[in-house]
Structure 1
Amino acid sequence: MTKAQQTLVLLHGGAMSGASLRPIAKRLSHIRCLTPDLRGHGTKRSLAFSNLEQCADDIACLIASETDRPVHLFGLSLGGYVSLNLLAQQKVPIASAIITGVAFADIRAKWLLRHVIGLVYPMLCLKSTREMAGRLTGINDAKLMSDPGSRGWARPSTVRDLARDILRCSPLDFAKRVSAPSVFLAGAYEPSAVRRGLELVRAECASASAGIVEAGSHGWCINDPDFAALVIERWLRGEPLPPGIDLTGSRFDQI
């Protein structure tokens, strides 16, 4: 790593692996990119998932072993929740963060979702179910959810446990403790809890901005790695984010 080279840690979504974000990393050849597998996923599939804090501790240890300089974070969905934990814990220096796909607003009927997750999670052992889950979250290449080459999918029990932990946590409380420059994003076609929550986090977190990825779904960065790389490049350079990112707040309540 050269003296001036920046380090970017890209953290993947649930039931996927670091391989899902490597197309973005390949487009950022001038940046040192780390795309680790989170606990319970990919090459770390055998490690039991217990909670988001433990995942954050794992990544903090990885960062400390790689560099003593501040790093940048890019977190998608589960990776976004882990990034929030890292930002709040401040166990390792974080220069800035891009977080997308995190629900800061209350998720309606949490109790019902917990029961539904408990009922359907065993079916995630079926390839067709995993790929359907990918399509429902807006990932064009739904096969990423079960690609044996990237070992991208997690055990059904891991998906159940992480979903329950996400429903338990309060990401807005973590956001209030964030001091590093951050931008929180959501696809225009994500669930309302994700989009509406951006207004809350912008009001509560002085160091953060928030915006909508126009025409984007939950998996926008996987669907369009060229655009994701451009967003990251401009953010790291301190330049305005590219057209296609609406930072005005006018679409947070879009249905």
Structure 2
Amino acid sequence: MAANLAGVSIENVSKTFTVRTGRQSEEVHVLDRVSLHIEPGEIIALTGLSGCGKTTLLRILLGLERADSGRVLVDGVEVDGCGEDRSMVFQNAQLFPWRTALENVEFGLEARGVPKEARRRTALEKLELVGLGHAADRRPAQLSGGMQQRVGLARALSVDPAVLLMDEPFGALDAQTREGLQAEVLRIHQETGKTIIFVTHDLDEAVLLADRVVLMAPGPGRIDKIFPIELPRPRADLVAVRGLEEFSAQRYEIWHRLMTGAPAQAAAAASATR
């Protein structure tokens, strides 16, 4: 198991954006006093209705956005911009089309001044980890969507982050490819022990992968309820996991809360502002 592990503490994080339309501007309160502690090596799924601030929270964790108030700590150190202890897998792989898969994975290491031989060795190792060692010399146009996402995952892992962030990385893929990559994430977690925080709208995915599912509610974004997932690990056989009564029961519990709790709370919050 990797030594580079860290817990994450989110403490009373709030965020407001100013949205301008022509000469008009409007304050949109995206997050309101969000607090959550994540243990080293834990997998956390953030889910909820659109507009509840999931991706904004992930961007604050990465350091791409700053909270208006509150703070985020990784391994006890306050986040102040992007850092080497965190890495992100985005909704689409965002690969450089003129670079090979290997060269794309090398990019972050190259930016950090890692010597060519060392970064090539690390990049090849990470491509092997995601099952793409055979495709190292292919360019993105020669790769399927699922393979491109694997390259993006390898690139994120190449810098050995303590915390891996993922923003709906499999949302645009077909069901079969998506399930293959879900199994890949579980295998990589078993091998590396990385702390993983991911955003998803797919409740099956949330329950299959996570130790805890954090359901967020909009109006403004906040944590509605946290669901511990009691399914045993490792969960290598996702077909078998889906067949468990516990899987169906926990998925239904989250779905029921999502459909009955969060919308009702959002409506009440909207009414209170009128």
TM-score by length of 1: 0.32
Higher strand share: 2
- The structure with more radius of gyration: 2
- Say which structure is richer in helix: 1
The one of the two structures with greater contact order (alpha-carbon pairs below 8 A, sep at least 6) is 2
